[in-house]
Structure 1
Amino acid sequence: MSVINWKKMGLGIVTASTTLLLAACGGGDGGAETDNTDTNEGNEADTEEVGGSLEVSVAPEYIDFINDKASEFEEEYGVEVEVSEREMFETLEALPLDGPAGLSPDVTIAPYDRIGGLGQQGHLHTVTLPDNDQYDETDKQQVTIDDEIYGSPYVIEALIMYYNTDLLDEAPETFEELEALSEDDQYAYESESGKNTAFLANWVDFYSSYGLLSGFGGYVFGEDGTDTSDIGLNSEGAIEGIEYAEDWYSKWPEGMLDATSAGDFVDDTFINGDAAAIIGGPWTAASYDAEGLNYSAAPIPTLPNGNEYEPFGGGKGWIISNYTENAENAQLWLDFITSEDNMLALHEFNNEVPANQQARQSIIDADENPLAIAVVEQYNNAVPMPNIPEMAEVWEGAETMMFDAVSGNKTPEESANDSVQIISDNIEQKY
């Protein structure tokens, strides 16, 4: 049996094909003003009945949980709550038209990398976060753009390391240990001489490889992901990270070079017991559970330079439509649904890792879910994904950066420089 049970949840990664291209438009004149400075009362809200109504829209995977919580909210505050069910991205993409037409929900959930763009384009109401250490600076950065807060952090995600507990007694802690493991003939790839699958990571995918580049000193944009004139994917550190990846690809089977199927190759090899350790997301655990694989999870090992692996930190937050006429009730809902008790209840419901710091600590103290603990610990070393619209050009420009280098099509420096040039040119043309 698996030691972990995890439901696959949708990852809100922006891609060039799914990025929301929004025309700036005003809104929210009917909504009450919400000061987005911190409040000393945290989310211990006044439970006096306030009345009024609120529409909450969530994706199908949340509907049962939110229906239960909506009933509690109604009883506590006297607010009539309508819960509607709709896929998350459908709701977000419809907001620019549905909002002005009075058809959008008051509150919904959005991936962190969508919140900045929606807020910048005028579609989101500002949000007040509690002043009770519920969120740290990384959490706040995920929902902030132009010094305005546009969401309440809800759940967190980060790439982690999985390892097969039938093959390894404990998690490797350094990449040197993984290198030694790759010399073990037990993991030799039979159909390709000299190749080994002891450790695998889908680094031809930029989302997966970014933690490697960042750990060596690379970065996307300067000034905490906001300065698009400073692109660090061809910095000395980033190139060093690509060179290190080259060493691994020289050991891996050719299937690891296929950008369309490398992820499946990693998962299948791990499930078949031919890989001792891999890098993956928490959303892949469901497939390992379904196969009855004995595995556990841990933070990604320390890099050869002594630095931590620094993947993108992702997740989702609650947002308020800027077209709402129920802004005060919407803020009250955000305070309610992100409380420690309700965040722990969500974790019990679907195993997602809460953004609420107190809830995270409770999960660590319980020491019962190694996957959740690995996500929390890895997230502490994660880099908030830039939440500005220009990030869409990074996905396109860096799409083949690692492949071009590790396949030998270009040198690491040439590949990095070419990718940065594409990103820079596209930003200059479109923004």
Structure 2
Amino acid sequence: MEKRNVKLLALGVLSLAGLLSGCGASTSGSGSSGAGDQTSTSIPKGITLHVLSYWQPEEMTVIKQLAAKWGKEHGDTVVVEQNSATGSDKFSNWAQEVRAGTGPDVAIAMPSDNLGTFYQEGLLAPATLMNPSDYPSQVAEGVKMGGNYYAYPVAAQSVALMYNKKEISTPPTTWNEFVKDANKYGFNMAQEQFYYDYVFLGGMGGYIFKDNNGTLDPNDIGLANSGAVAGFQLLQDMDQKYHWMNPSVDQSVATSQFDNGKVGMFISGPWDVAAAQKAGIQVGVAPIPTLPNGKPGTPLISNLTAIVSDKSKNMAAAQSLAQYLTNSAAELQYFKADADLPALSSLQTNSTITSDPIAKGFVDQLNTAVATPNIAQMQAVYSAQSVIPSILSGKLSAAEGAKQYVNNTKSAISVQQG
């Protein structure tokens, strides 16, 4: 599924399962959007900081340049390394190294889905220079745990409606328009994945974990309430009533059919744009149409972040560097390098972004997107998604499937907690 580095977030949710116990630290700070910095006197000269990057070559070039500039300004050295781990170790390798006392001071492009497990084990230092007001609230919420902020968002994206402009000149904005266009031009998506399905589950009134004034309750799961059941029914209808697709359509098949012009609409993220364009598709991007209840869909926001190790021996310097690698100038360079959508509110209205119709379409979708829960129990939600094909095929009714989904999630949480 990882066709571009911005897809790291969707992948990150599947890669951690067993980091356990402990607790995070508890202070917060402000000021991450501009060139603001720790005072020079608080950062010693002559030290060496290590950065582990989960981004790919296009962004790595920018990161190395920024790190060298920060190092020169402070009289320090910054060593930037490219992550080489794969598979289940792709993101957990950071935690393994930090536990061993050999981990980097800063990691960048870490998917926010992984923060909950790191936080529980006490591996994350609070992002003391992060100002939540600099970001859309739903982006800031994605890095908040225990009442404080533990990462610097550096890129944010969600899925949106991708459509073939050669066939559809004006994208649908209502459910009735969407059904009409889908019947005429075709539509698909990776229905077997909860990450994509939450557009409909949340939009129809479901929720993942109950939010009690900023604290998520993993014991209160809203994936079998009336709204979630209505969302599962919509997903089943796509297969059984409208016949737009069948349960065997996974992300690979859905992408291929859109790229080959077999369907005119497709729900996915920025990571699938380049391949479609290369295949000759005139790609348009727009917010997902309102649902049958008249409310917008609720894609999950995928944050890429910079995090600071709680074990760093040079904490003030590490915080300063993490802030510097995620400030507005840096985020704009990442966008220019590889179209990474910025997390800062100020850049989401920047002319460089808004003049790019693809980027603008995805940024507009962020207005209705919601923060992906970052608590460790979110891993259990993804592990329970194996029941979804049974709902799509009609083997389980929407209500039965929703109930089974919640039961499977609760069982996975029990296993996760030992």
TM-score using structure 2 length: 0.88
- Deviation per residue, 1:304-328 (Å, 9 max, x gap): 2110110111121000111111111
CA contact (8 A) 1:95 1:123 kept: no
Name the amino acid aligned to 1:249: D
CA contact (8 A) 1:20 1:93 kept: no
Match 1:307 to one of 266, 278, 295: 295
1:360/1:272 CA distance change after superposition, 3 Å: same
Partners of 2:32 and 2:196 lie apart in 1 by 39
1:35/1:88 CA distance change after superposition, 3 Å: farther
CA contact (8 A) 2:33 2:326 kept: no
1:329/1:91 CA distance change after superposition, 3 Å: farther
Counterpart position of 1:404: 390
CA contact (8 A) 1:155 1:315 kept: yes
Name the amino acid aligned to 1:245: L
In the TM superposition, residue 264 of structure 1 has moved relative to its aligned partner by 2.5
Superposed, 1:57-206 pairs within 5 Å as 57-59=52-54, 60-61=56-57, 62-87=59-84, 90=89, 92-109=91-108, 110-131=110-131, 133-184=133-184, 187=185, 198-206=186-194
Name the amino acid aligned to 1:44: G
Counterpart position of 1:339: 327
1:356/1:366 CA distance change after superposition, 3 Å: closer
Counterpart position of 2:29: 37
Match 1:385 to one of 352, 372, 375: 372
Partners of 1:293 and 1:270 lie apart in 2 by 8
Partners of 1:233 and 1:56 lie apart in 2 by 38
How many percent identity over aligned positions? 25
Counterpart position of 2:206: 218
Partners of 2:207 and 2:374 lie apart in 1 by 14
Partners of 2:208 and 2:20 lie apart in 1 by 25
CA contact (8 A) 1:57 1:107 kept: yes
In the TM superposition, residue 207 of structure 1 has moved relative to its aligned partner by 1.3
Partners of 2:82 and 2:281 lie apart in 1 by 33
Match 2:233 to one of 226, 243, 253: 243
SS in 2 for 1:10: helix
CA contact (8 A) 1:79 1:329 kept: no
CA contact (8 A) 2:348 2:354 kept: no
In the TM superposition, residue 26 of structure 1 has moved relative to its aligned partner by 8.5
Residue 262 of structure 1 pairs with residue 262 of structure 2: no
In the TM superposition, residue 252 of structure 1 has moved relative to its aligned partner by 5.4
Q: Which runs of 5+ in 1 are unaligned?
A: 1-5, 28-32, 188-197
Residue 326 of structure 1 pairs with residue 311 of structure 2: no
- Deviation per residue, 1:162-218 (Å, 9 max, x gap): 11111011221122112112443xx4xxxxxxxxxx222332321111110100001
Partners of 2:31 and 2:340 lie apart in 1 by 27
Match 1:415 to one of 388, 401, 407: 401
1:320/1:156 CA distance change after superposition, 3 Å: same
Q: Which moved more, 1:285-294 or 1:85-94?
A: 85-94
Q: In the comparison of the two structures, how many residue pairs are matched?
A: 405
Match 1:227 to one of 201, 217, 220: 217
Point out the structure with max Rg over C-alpha. Answer: 1
SS in 2 for 1:118: helix
In the TM superposition, residue 92 of structure 1 has moved relative to its aligned partner by 3.8
CA contact (8 A) 1:338 1:356 kept: no
SS in 1 for 2:171: coil
CA contact (8 A) 1:213 1:219 kept: yes
Name the amino acid aligned to 1:210: Y
Counterpart position of 1:195: none
1:420/1:26 CA distance change after superposition, 3 Å: closer
Partners of 1:102 and 1:121 lie apart in 2 by 14
In the TM superposition, residue 247 of structure 1 has moved relative to its aligned partner by 2.4
* CA RMSD after TM alignment: 2.7
- Deviation per residue, 1:44-63 (Å, 9 max, x gap): 22674842321111134332
1:42/1:274 CA distance change after superposition, 3 Å: closer
1:93/1:210 CA distance change after superposition, 3 Å: same
Counterpart position of 1:30: none
Q: Which runs of 5+ in 2 are unaligned?
A: none
Name the amino acid aligned to 1:404: S
Match 1:395 to one of 373, 382, 389: 382
TM-score using structure 1 length: 0.86
